[in-house]
Amino acid sequence: MAETALDYQTLRNYAWVAGRFSHQRRRAALSFQHHAEVASLPEGEQERWLDEAERRGWTRNRLRAMIRPVQGRSLPTLQETVRISVRTSADQMRVWEEAAGRTALELHEWMVVILNEAAGSGG
């Protein structure tokens, strides 16, 4: 604490985040704050969100905004594959794809989340 002039809690938080990411998993193109935003998530989700943030050039605030709608929700593991066919216009399809993109989910994942919300099950 004396060497850094930072308080104990700040140093503890830094150590916790750093401990969640081995040197090989850290992204040079992303800030410490990006990593802190996803540190509490399972490793696979950390990777997915950091990949998206890096690929899309998201700020820390943008990453936080993208995680918030889906945080704490995991997509259900399906016991069977279900094929659903929906007729829609190209314009509507673009709207859905853009909405899914705003949450960093694939279109089919986004549809499952939306359908679960509409059914009141939340996932």
- 50 and 11 in a common domain: yes
Cα separation, 18 vs 11, in Å, equals 10
**Token representation of residue 105:** 């989910």
- 19 and 54 in a common domain: yes
Asked which of 48, 68, 88 is the last residue of a domain, the reply is 68
| Count of domains observed in the chain | 2
- 88 and 63 in a common domain: no
Give average pLDDT by consecutive 10-residue segment, the chain, 123 residues: 83 92 94 94 91 90 79 52 84 91 79 78 50
- 105 and 49 in a common domain: no
Burial of 104 (0-12, 13-18, 19+ CB in 10 A): buried
pLDDT of residue 75: 45
pLDDT of residue 80: 56
- 60 and 24 in a common domain: yes
Cα separation, 59 vs 84, in Å, equals 36
- 33 and 3 in a common domain: yes
Cα separation, 103 vs 112, in Å, equals 13
Cα separation, 119 vs 7, in Å, equals 47
Backbone torsions φ then ψ of 39, nearest 5 degrees:
-60, -30
- 38 and 16 in a common domain: yes
Domain range holding 79? Answer: 75-123
- 64 and 82 in a common domain: no
How crowded is the C-beta side of 5, counted as CA atoms within 13 Å? 0
pLDDT of residue 21: 94
- 90 and 30 in a common domain: no
User: Which residue type, as a one-letter code, is found at position 97?
Assistant: E
The answer to whether 123 touches 74, Cβ cutoff 8 Å, is yes
Asked which of 68, 99, 115 is the last residue of a domain, the reply is 68
pLDDT of residue 31: 95
- 103 and 43 in a common domain: no
